[in-house]
Chains A and B, each alone.
Chain A
Amino acid sequence: MLVLSILGHAGLLFALSYRSSAPVMRLPGVVSVELVAAPPSAAPAPPVARPAPPPKPVVEKVVLPKEPAAPKVKPKPVVKKPPLPKPKPVERDLDDVLADLRADAGEPTPEPIAAAAPSAGAGGVGQPVPPEVAAWIRQAKIHVRRTWVLPPAFRTQALEAHVLVDLDAQGNVLGEPRVVRRSGNPWYDEGVVRAIQKASPLPPPPAADEWAFVFIPSDSF
């Protein structure tokens, strides 16, 4: 009995130690939302004041003194740390990332969004999406990204806006797109609505209905 107990504990310890040495899955970082600017002041500014007139030349005999300078020290050999990468817009997008993941996993990549995005209505992740829907999503995404103007300062921030767009069968945007989740920056949100309006008509959707769009700067996560 004692031997059995020792063997049992040893087996358990082995199993635990094996498990703890296994690689740990990492969850993605939380996407933070930051208000980068307040709305512009509505108060008009008064006219510009006249620039300061240059003072009259003063003729002075001066002996030029030594200028104040930053503290002097003996030059030392500089050990420069390798510079950190500058914040730079990353041209990869979710499609590309997911395509890479599939390639890593040896899966085919005909419809990356459709295969990866969950069908929340069906209540699960990885539910199959009809091919015509997946194809339209890809076309719509390419279409809208062409009209989306995003200045550099927005591209390094964690911003995310969710928009519902009412489309007719020809892909025309009906009414004003609705921002249902704001990014925290009203100019970013206005920009994504502008992009959708400019993109109208989109490719004809599989169904005349309300469609969801999510706008994210590519390097925000």
Chain B
Amino acid sequence: MRLAMSEARRAGRLAAALLLAATCLSSLPAAAQGRPAVVVTPGERQTFKAALQRFADPSTSTDPARTAKFREALAQALLFSGVFEIIDPKAFLGPDQTENFENRDGLACVDWTTVGADAFVEGRITADARNYTAEFRIWDTARCKRLLRKRYRQGVDLDPGILAKRAADDIVAAFIGVRGVSSTEMVFVSDRTGSKEIFLMDADGGRQRAVTANGSINNFPSWSPSGDSIIYTSYRHRNQPNLFVTTRGRGQPQRLLVGFDRNLSQYRGVFDPVGKQVAVVMSDGSPSEIYRVTPGSRKLHQLTRNQAIDVSPTWSPNGEEIVYVSDRAGSPQLYLMDADGKYSRRLTFNGSYNTAPAWSPDGKWIAYETRVGGQFDIWLIDPEGRVNVPLITHPRSDEAPSWAPNSRKIAFSSTRRGLADIYITDLAGTDPVRVTSGAGNNTSPGWGPFPR
């Protein structure tokens, strides 16, 4: 009987494979149908190779090394994407620096395919008293086809590396259809100065700078969808938790919600995807509830109403649903509800402590932390609750996941080196990269949107 089963299984597998092969060929025109197709499956290569020229610099530059610096910044940003590796310019057969950027039509592609380049990037940098401009072209060398030409401009007082990152993100998009995130920013909480303050940095960990320095407790930073503002909870006003908003170039932070009952503590706020309303966790001393409110108005729309603690709201990318955490079943679990508070339903059933949900911008996954033993791991669950898989498992705690705007990377904090730091990983969860270091604990990352 076992033999018969084995025979049948083999026959089934063979039939399945043959049917697949037949399906593969059915779309081919008659000319090629007389022979089997060459069925190609991927080998080991997962990254494209990029040849980056030093950009032409026709203006009289005060910094003769700036094209070399720009190329280095571009290379670092492409490496950060995980999609490209960089060819050493010493191996170039073609010119190291862009020549005749404006008037040249074609490209000696063979010079670049010979050194193994998939992508070739050339460009020109110009600057006047006020602005710094970078123009560039991206080539697909194998097809000898220009994929993109683009120009960015910014004030001369800003770091040219910002333009290099934006160019790198475009190059990534030209090859995989999904924009890179090296030009995005991240907020986080750090106690490096002795109190919990909000900090801002580039997504790769560069340019770390303080957003708050009030010596109080500041926590739960998140972004407005435009990327212009950061909202966070601070105890700086009367030692009560209140939501504050800091807007680029506007100086002092402001309280986000005013005119409400002073005894109503505001624990956490998250903008909806269009930036009009905020889901807020508030409490008057009884277990916290989730509300929806439009900044500037005094009307609260209560979304949860029960004796349990309801916290950590996060909007779905289409703004129609909210995932949040409630202990109404006896332990913290993830729940979904419609944005008007209706149809609340439990999402997680595995694990005794699930919290910190973060909905991916593409809507496919909700990342969350789950307690295993005395520490936390990060898992992914789809909004239907059908697939629930671990992403980061480590003997030390991994917490507070936050999605990159392209849904291809996740930032989280981890105590794997003792003090907490911010790490970035891809959706395979392999080899997280640490992007903060130094004194203090760095926690609660909030990954910002694409720059406009």
Q: Which residues of A contact B (CB under 8 A)?
A: 22-28, 31, 36-40, 44-60, 62-65, 67-68, 70-71, 73, 75-78, 80-81, 83-84, 86-89, 91-95, 97-98, 101, 104-105, 113-114, 116-122, 125-126, 129, 133-134, 137, 140-141, 144-155, 160, 162, 164, 176, 180-181, 185-187, 190-195, 197-198, 209-218, 221
Contact = CB atoms under 8 A, between A and B. Distances in A.
Nearest to B328: A71
Interface residues of B, number: 135
B107 interface: no
B83 interface: yes
Contact of A60 (B10, B215, B308): B215
A88 B355 contact: no
Nearest to B10: A104
B35 A211 contact: yes
A36 B364 CA distance: 11
A182 B196 CA distance: 52
B33 interface: yes
A51 B373 CA distance: 41
B18 interface: yes
Interface string B176-195: 11110001010000000000
A117 B351 contact: no
Interface of B: 4-5, 8-48, 82-83, 113, 118, 131, 140, 142-143, 150-155, 158, 162, 166, 170, 173-179, 183, 185, 200, 207, 209-217, 219, 228, 230, 233, 235-236, 239-241, 246-253, 265, 267-268, 281, 288, 308-309, 311-312, 325-327, 330-332, 350-353, 355-356, 371-373, 387-391, 393, 408, 426-429, 451-452
B41 A58 contact: no
A39 B148 CA distance: 12
A65 B46 contact: no
A23 B177 contact: no
A212 B35 contact: yes
Contacts of A137: 36, 38
Contact of B35 (A36, A44, A65, A133): A133
Contact of B33 (A63, A84, A121, A185): A121
B235 A64 contact: yes
A177 to B, nearest CB: 9
The 6 closest A-B pairs by CB, nearest first: A93-B41, A117-B36, A121-B34, A23-B8, A71-B327, A47-B154
A101 to B, nearest CB: 5
Given A94-B21, A95-B41, A121-B34, 10 more contacts: A56-B252, A59-B215, A70-B309, A71-B332, A117-B37, A126-B18, A151-B83, A164-B28, A180-B27, A194-B142
A141 to B, nearest CB: 5
A113 B17 contact: no
